[in-house]
Amino acid sequence: MTFNNESTTDDVLAGLDLSGRRFVITGAASGLGEESTRALAAHGASVLMLARDPAKNDEAAAR
């Protein structure tokens, strides 16, 4: 499979079952960290979200 600058996280993770896998994401309240968290969780992973601002982290977790 080939990826390029237009590939999304969903493209990269397509077909993967991450059930039972655990990930720790730093900077999870925004940007790449938030997108990585969303994509991994959408594919069945358990994700521990870490961020400097607890309120922003809670907001990101709710999305």
Residue 26 lies in a domain: yes
Cα(34)–Cα(36) distance, integer angstroms:
5
**pTM to 2 decimal places:** 0.85
Cα(10)–Cα(44) distance, integer angstroms:
13
Total domain count, the chain: 1
Residue 47 lies in a domain: yes
pLDDT at residue number 26: 97
Residue 30 lies in a domain: yes
**Is residue 1 scored above 90 in pLDDT?**
no
% of the chain at pLDDT higher than 90 = 95
Task: Label residue 13 by pLDDT band (50, 70, 90).
Answer: very high
Mean of pLDDT values over 42-46: 97
pLDDT at residue number 8: 93
H runs (alpha helix) in the chain:
9-13, 31-42, 54-62
Encode burial over 2-20: b for 16+ CB neighbours within 10 A, e otherwise.
Answer: eeeeeeebeeebeeeebee
Task: Show the domain range for 53.
Answer: 20-58
